[in-house]
Amino acid sequence: MDLREQRGMELAATRIIKRKGNLWMVPSQSGNDKYSVQIMPEKSSCTCLDHETRGVKCKHIYAATFVMKREEHADGSVTITESITVTATKRATYPQKWSAYNEAQTHEQDKFQVLLADLCSGLVTTPPKSGRPPLPLSDAVFAIVFKVYSTVSQRRFMSDLREAHERGYIAKVPHFNSISNYLENASLTPILRNLITQSSLPLQSVETDFAADSSGFTTCRFTRWFDQKYGTVKQKADWVKCHLMCGVKTNIVTAVEIHEKFANDTNFLPALVNKTAENFTMTEVSADKGYISRKNADAIANVGATPFIAFRSDNRAGNGGTWDKMYHYFQFRRDEFLAHYHKRSNVESTFSMMKRKFGDGLRSKTDVAMVNETLCKVLCHNLVVLIHETHELGIDPVFWSNAA
C-alpha cells in the first residue's frame, strides 16, 4: 500500500464524501477545499493539483473509490455495492517429504542428544572457592532437559542418562534425586531462557513472520474451596501460563515468558517482540484480540514489522499512528488483513505440538521448578524442530556462533 492509498483510506474513514451526479465531492485533508472526482472504468480524474499536474492516482480518487462501495442512508442503514467475480481456484497443496520425515522420526532421540550436548557445551561452570566440586553446569542442564524430553519418571529415566554418559554426552551420571534439585534451582531459569534463544538462531534466515499467544500447563497442585450452595468441597488443578513468540513457518520459539495463571496477555507482547527482534528480521507479527492495544501496535512497528492484531467490536480509529493505519487496513482491506492475521494459527499449532509430545502437565511442585520445567518443554520443542528442519531444509545447526 503506497502513501496516497493509505491517505485515501483515512479520508474515506474520517470525512464525509458525497455524490453529486457522476461526481464525488471529496474534502481536502488539510483545508476546507473540496475536489471533484470522477470514477471511470479506465481512468479516473480529480481536480486537485496532484492529479492535474502529475497525472497520478491521487488520495481523493482512492477515497472516492473506497466510499463508492458503501452508501449511507439517512436512517443509518448501509447499502453495500459490490461487483462479484466468481472464479474457480485450486487450493494450494504442499506435499510431505516422507523420506525426510521418516529419517527425522527414526533418528530423533539420537539426534536430540547430540544437539542438546552441543548446546550445553557452551555453558561454563564456575568452580567453588572451596569444598566439593559440583556437577558441571552442562551436565546438570543436559540431565533436566533430557528428563523432560523422555516424559518418564526420574527413576526410569536413569537408564537413558547412563546411556548418554556412555556416549560421552555428560561427564558424570547424577543421582535421580539430584534432577529435582536442579529443577528447583532459580539460577538455571535465565540459563534455560538463553538456551531457548540459542536453539532458535539456526533458523534466522528462514523466519520473518511471527505469531504470539499464551497457553496453560497444569500442575500437580490443587486449589480447594467449599461450595456454600451445594455444601461440598471442590477442587481444580492449578496451572502456570506460558507466553511465547514463534515463527510461522517452522514453529520455532524465539522468545518466552512464564507467569502466573491470571497474567494479562497484552502486557507481555512488547517483551516478546523486542527479544525476537534482537536476533531476527521481523516483517510481520500476528496475535489475537487479547493483545490489541496502541502500545503493542507501536512496539511491533518500532522493530520494523507490521502488526496484524484482531480488533474488538468496540475498537475505533482515532488513536493515531500505527493503530489508525492498522484499523483502516482492517476496515477497507479486510480479506487481505485476515489473510495475514490467520498466520497466528501457527502459534496454536506450536502449543499443540509441545503438549502432545511432552505432555500438558507439570510434575514439579514448587514455583521455581514449574517455571524451569516449562522452559525445558519449550527447549525440547525447539530441538525437535531443528531435527526436522535438518532433514527438510538441509540446515546444519551451529550454536554459540554469536557468543563473544
What residues does each domain of the chain span?
Answer: 3-80, 105-189, 203-392
User: How far is Cα 140 from Cα 181, in angstroms, rounded to an integer?
Assistant: 10
pLDDT of 326 above 80: yes
**CA neighbor of 65 nearest in space, from 11, 118, 28, 116:** 11
Give me the pLDDT at residue 66, please.
84
> How would you write 37-93 as a 3-class SS string?
EECCCCCCEECCHHHHHHCCCCHHHHHHHHHHCEEECCCCCEEECCCCCCCCCCCCC
Give me the pLDDT at residue 82, please.
45
8 A C-beta contact, residue 183 and residue 205: no
Instruction: Report the sign of the C-alpha dihedral through residues 178, 125, 385, 369, in that order.
Output: positive
CATH number attached to the domain at 203-392: 3.30.420
User: From edge to edge, which strands make up the β-sheet containing 284-287?
Assistant: 253-260, 232-247, 209-227, 284-287, 306-309
Which cell is 150 given?
523422555
- The model's confidence at residue 228, banded by pLDDT at 50, 70 and 90, is low
In the chain, what's the furthest Cα-to-Cα distance? 93
8 A C-beta contact, residue 267 and residue 255: no
Give me the pLDDT at residue 86, please.
44
Q: What is the mean pLDDT of residues 10-18?
A: 83
Which cell is 220 given?
500437580
- Other CB atoms within a 10 A radius of the CB of residue 101 amount to 13
8 A C-beta contact, residue 322 and residue 300: yes
Instruction: Report the sign of the C-alpha dihedral through residues 353, 363, 271, 213, in that order.
Output: positive
8 A C-beta contact, residue 60 and residue 48: yes
Q: For residue 356, give Cα distances in angstroms to 7, 62, 327, 381.
A: 47, 49, 36, 11
Q: What is the mean pLDDT of residues 366-390?
A: 94
pLDDT in tens, 259-294: 887 788 889 999 999 999 999 999 999 999 999 999
Give me the pLDDT at residue 222, please.
60
User: How far is Cα 156 from Cα 153, in angstroms, rounded to an integer?
Assistant: 5
Q: What percent of the chain clears pLDDT 90, i.e. is strictly above it?
A: 49
pTM of the model: 0.76
- The model's confidence at residue 300, banded by pLDDT at 50, 70 and 90, is very high
Which cell is 319 given?
488513536
User: How far is Cα 22 from Cα 93, in angstroms, rounded to an integer?
Assistant: 46
Give 129 or 280, the one with higher predicted confidence. 280
pLDDT in tens, 78-93: 554 444 344 555 655 6
8 A C-beta contact, residue 221 and residue 237: yes
Kindly calculate the radius of gyration of the chain based on its CA atoms and give it in whole angstroms: 28
User: How far is Cα 294 from Cα 315, in angstroms, rounded to an integer?
Assistant: 11
pLDDT of 364 above 70: yes
